[in-house]
Amino acid sequence: MIAIVGAGPGGLFAAHELARHGETVHVYDVGQDVSARRWEDPFDLLHGMGGAGTFSDGKINYHPQIGGDLHAFMTREDAWALMADVEGLFQRYDVEVIPTDKESTHVLERRAAQQGVRFLPIRQAHVGSDHLTALIRRFGDDLRAAGVTFHFGVRVENVAVGDGRVRGLVLEGGETVPADEVILAPGRVGSEWMRHTAESHGLTIYFNPVDIGVRVEVPSMVMEEVIAVSYDPKFYVRTPTYDDRVRTFCVSPLGYVAKEVYREEGAVGVNGHSLRDEKSSNTNFALLTSVNLTEPVESTTAYGISIARLATTIGGGRPILQSLGDLRRHRRSTWGRLEKSPGDVVPTLTDVTPGDISMALPHRIVTDLLEALELLAGVIPGLDADRTLLYALELKRYATRPKTDRHLQTEVQGLYVAGDGAGVARGIAGAAATGLIAARGILASHGAGPAEPGRPG
Ligand SMILES: Cc1cc2nc3c(=O)[nH]c(=O)nc-3n(C[C@H](O)[C@H](O)[C@H](O)COP(=O)(O)OP(=O)(O)OC[C@H]3O[C@@H](n4cnc5c(N)ncnc54)[C@H](O)[C@@H]3O)c2cc1C
């Protein structure tokens, strides 16, 4: 029996691959089945069927180096082939790639290059938060029909290990479920759990960088031209003062900014999403700078969380909202000042505290963000207008990557990892791809398929 922890894209894609090869698969998730949840619910730490992906926008980036780096495990060619497999499975659920125009893509690439900005064209699909639930329900039904057993509302406490080999799962309450192989795919929400679990078995752990920044919101017209070229445009900037890398992430055209609660850490942040059937008049995206720490502190997660807590304190328990004009003038925003804004950009998230982002974020990060906005405005005119809204904090944690081989098997034999919680993915497609790597690793160890990572059996 193969036990999978987490019913997010990592766990579900692994379950699909294993079940279609006749393996007995049990998936454990502390959250609920999809039918018990609605996309309108506030973002919560308990995800369930579909994982964090259910609450997401369903923007899927089919690129081996977006949302993770598959080149770390396999050749460039195999990584693209694996991405094609992920795309193929989504296609079966009617998720189609957004067509792009070669000529206008090239024009945007050139315009960005002339400003010292890198634009990375990517094959993308968009499901929409409101349609994602139906897709996940269908996927879940098909997995059940293929023999996968789901256990919802069950928290896994640890893995059982004996003689250097995984033996099963230890559930909340102490029950041990025997398993021949285990895949841990607990998502970002389970990344601390993953670290504790790995530490409790003496596994080697590496820290990944943490991404810290703001969510930027502008009238949709400002972004219209670039979104016509790419639905979720990826721009990369090197900032002049600190030579840091800043990137755009999760662009939500005609979308909404949303509050994200880090309940266990006592902090709040922001995220964004677009709906297919309901539109705002704004577009938002995350603007993030990567922070990597070495001596004496390596825990980027602890650093990110302490900044999130500070931002939450300054915001009185809510995310902070500030106009770019106020940030530049070194003054806090107030509802009065925001309402006077000439461009009339009405915030899509109002459960916020107008305030001063520079009270919450380190100077280096604020400098990075201001410089990046200025450079990006060379590609997207109007982006650096005074009325542009900034919400803090946007935090992306990818910490705690247990040491693995190229099949994502840890130092414990039979114990595999996948997805965001293991620090090997940062998005739906990446999580799905790493789920496939782990599943195919198990299949290869059963003699079903090539020993090369990620290759289908
Ligand atoms: C608001 C929001 C918007 C997003 N938008 C996008 C987007 O547009 N495009 C994109 O590519 N990505 C997006 N993402 C990220 C995407 O959802 C994740 O990258 C993806 O879901 C990661 O998949 P995963 O399988 O690794 O983990 P998850 O999807 O997080 O699933 C992990 C599951 O494990 C369960 N779990 C954790 N610990 C335990 C335990 N101890 N016992 C039992 N169960 C446990 C959790 O309940 C959860 O259901 C978004 C995320 C959020 C929150």
Name the pLDDT band for 45 (thresholds 50, 70, 90).
very low
Residue ranges of domains in the chain: 2-99+124-206+401-445, 210-396
DSSP state of 40: T
Q: Is the CB of 315 under 6 A from ligand 1?
A: no
**Model pLDDT, residue 396:** 85
Residue 113 pLDDT more than 80? yes
Check: CATH 3.50.50.60 for 2-99+124-206+401-445? yes
Closest by CA to 67, choosing from 183, 186, 188, is 188
pLDDT of residue 41: 53
CB distance 28 to ligand 1 below 6 Å: yes
- Residue 424 — pLDDT band, cuts 50, 70, 90? very high
Strands (E), 220-281: 234-238, 245-252, 256-262, 267-273
For the chain, how are helix, strand and coil distributed in percent, rounded to 5?
35, 25, 40
Distance CA(307)–CA(313), nearest Å, equals: 10
Burial of 170 (0-12, 13-18, 19+ CB in 10 A): middle
98 lines ligand 1 (CB under 6 A): no
**Residue appearing with tokens 């993915």:** 425
- Check residue 380 and report its DSSP letter: S
Q: What is the pLDDT of residue 43?
A: 47
Higher pLDDT, 448 or 259: 259
Given this model, what pLDDT does residue 117 score? 97
- In this prediction, what percent of the chain has a pLDDT beyond 90? 74
pLDDT-wise least confident of 128-137, 154-163, 347-356, 374-383:
128-137
Helix (H, G, I), strand (E, B) or coil at 61: strand
> What is the residue-averaged pLDDT of the chain?
91
Which of 115, 289, 110, 123 shows the shortest CA–CA distance to 216? 289
pTM: 0.81
CA of 190 to the centre of ligand 1 (A): 9
CA nearest to 411, candidates 117, 125, 174, 201: 201
Q: Which of 13, 27, 28, 30 to mutate to test the pocket of ligand 1 (most atoms within 8 A of CB)?
A: 30
Q: What is the pLDDT of residues 431-453, one digit of tens each?
A: 999 999 999 999 999 987 777 78
Protein residue with least CA distance to atom 44, ligand 1: 29
d(CA 422, CA 185): 7
pLDDT confidence of 36, banded at 50, 70, 90? low
DSSP 296-351: S---HHHHHHHHHHHHHHHTTTS-EEEEHHHHHTT----HHHHHT-TT----S--S
Whole-number pLDDT of residue 373 = 98
In the predicted model, is pLDDT for residue 201 greater than 70?
Answer: yes
- Please name the residue ranges forming H helices in 70-219: 76-92, 102-114, 129-145, 191-200
Decide whether any atom of ligand 1 lies within 6 Å of the 193 Cβ.
Answer: yes
pLDDT greater than 60 at residue 39: no
Other CB atoms within a 10 A radius of the CB of residue 45 amount to 17
Q: Is the CB of 52 under 6 A from ligand 1?
A: yes
Pick the residue whose CA is nearest to atom 53 on ligand 1.
52
* Closest of 262, 236, 239, 256 to residue 248, by C-alpha: 236
Determine the pLDDT at residue 276: 75
Tell me: the pLDDT tens digits for 261-314?
988 789 999 999 888 789 999 999 999 999 887 766 677 878 899 999 999 999
Give the ligand 1 atom nearest the CA of 67: 11
Mean pLDDT of 191-215: 93
Q: Is the CB of 231 under 6 A from ligand 1?
A: no
CA of 277 to the centre of ligand 1 (A): 23
Report the 10 Å Cβ neighbour count for 220.
Answer: 18
The mean pLDDT of 73-102, rounded to a whole number, is 93
Give, in order, the Cα–Cα distances in Å from 307 to each of 69, 302, 394. 26, 9, 10
Is the Cβ atom of 195 under 6 angstroms away from ligand 1?
Answer: no
